[in-house]
């Protein structure tokens, strides 16, 4: 089984968020970056579990510059066999999807896994775009994945229940909570990651279809107002006139 796991770089959740260049660019100074948790904890770990159960290989793929190499090495330390970095700027979801699909189109991967979204943009777009560009089936927000005899059985949470999907052949899948349990790299894995292959390939030319106008921080939270349980009229008035909630 040949598995490709796409990983992205994301700011640590404790990072202080600021913008530069007229609020059009994220300020990376002093920011600690990590492997996007959905990619690491669910997509990568489930890919490794499948390899351990069925044989094969797990390749991790990242789109970005040399500054992304540390997070790629972490994925190798967790257990991936090799890695590829597409050396180009990740401008938006479509550009990333085109870089991934261009690399994967002739490599014969049986499965392409991604996390359900990144924790910085929360777009949840790349998986579907990759599937479309490769003309492969796509299952999003999967919480369970098993394969038997070339048939994949996938579960995903839906309103009021669980949907079970069967797919034959290669597919693209975005993984959500429940797919696997996080793994921590051990010393053996960390040492092995130093010598595992990390290939660097040039990106393809992609015409940008989106641009960033500006970023804005969320407004500061206002002070909490406490209303007596006996004063329903005041509560209704505040909700109607101040909060504009009703």
Residue 119 or 221, more confident:
119
| pLDDT value, residue 140 | 95
> How far is residue 67's CA from residue 73's CA, in Å, rounded to a whole number?
11
Tell me: the pLDDT tens digits for 87-104?
998 889 999 999 999 999
Q: Look at residue 82 and tell me whether its pLDDT is greater than 80.
A: yes
Q: How many percent of the chain have pLDDT more than 70?
A: 100
Strands 9-11 and 198-202: unpaired
pLDDT at 222 over 80: no
Q: What is the pLDDT of residues 42-68, one digit of tens each?
A: 999 999 999 999 999 999 999 999 999
The pLDDT value given to residue 224: 83
What DSSP string describes 54-116?
H--EEEEEEES-GGGHHHHHHHHHHT-SEEEEEES---SHHHHHHHHHHHHTTS--SEEEEES
- pLDDT, the chain, mean: 93
* pTM metric for this prediction: 0.86
Q: How far is CA 189 from CA 43, 79, 81, 243, in A?
A: 18, 7, 11, 53
For residue 242, the 8-state DSSP code is: I
At 152-195, the pLDDT tens digits run 999 999 999 999 999 999 999 999 999 999 999 899 999 999 99
Question: What's the mean pLDDT in 203-211?
Answer: 87
Task: Check residue 47 and report its DSSP letter.
Answer: H
Rounded Cα gap, residues 219 and 236, in angstroms: 24
Check the CA dihedral 121-129-157-175 and report its sign.
Answer: negative
pLDDT band at 243 (very low <50, low <70, confident <90, very high): confident
The pLDDT-based confidence of 150 (bands split at 50, 70, 90) is: confident
Predicted local distance difference test score (pLDDT) of residue 51: 96
Range 27-44 average pLDDT: 93
Q: Which domains does the chain have, with CATH numbers?
A: 2-215 (3.40.50.620)
| pLDDT tens column, 102-130 | 999 999 999 999 999 999 888 899 999 99
Q: What is the pLDDT, as a whole number, of residue 131? A: 97
């Amino acid at each position: 089984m040949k598995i490709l796991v796409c990983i992205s770089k994301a700011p640590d959740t404790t990072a202080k968020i600021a913008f530069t260049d007229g609020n059009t660019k994220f300020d990376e100074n002093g920011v600690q970056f990590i492997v996007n948790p959905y990619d690491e904890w669910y997509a990568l770990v489930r890919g490794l579990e499948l390899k351990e159960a069925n044989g094969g290989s797990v390749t991790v793929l990242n789109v970005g510059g040399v500054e992304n190499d540390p997070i790629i090495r972490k994925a190798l330390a967790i257990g991936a066999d090799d890695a590829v970095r597409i050396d180009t700027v990740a401008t938006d979801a479509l550009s990333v999807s085109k870089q991934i699909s261009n690399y994967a189109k002739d490599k014969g991967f049986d499965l392409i896994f991604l996390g359900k979204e990144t924790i910085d943009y929360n777009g949840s777009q790349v998986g579907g775009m990759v599937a479309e560009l490769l003309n492969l089936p796509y299952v999003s927000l999967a919480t369970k994945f098993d394969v038997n005899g070339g048939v994949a059985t996938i579960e995903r949470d839906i309103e009021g229940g669980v949907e079970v999907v069967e797919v034959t052949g290669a597919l693209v899948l975005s993984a959500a909570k429940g797919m696997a349990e996080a793994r921590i790299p051990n010393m053996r894995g960390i040492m092995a990651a130093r010598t595992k292959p990390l290939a660097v390939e040039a990106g393809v030319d992609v015409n940008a279809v989106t641009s960033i106008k500006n970023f804005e921080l969320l407004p500061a939270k206002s002070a909490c107002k406490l209303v007596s349980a006996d004063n329903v009229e005041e509560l209704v008035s505040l909700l109607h006139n101040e909060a504009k909630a009703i």
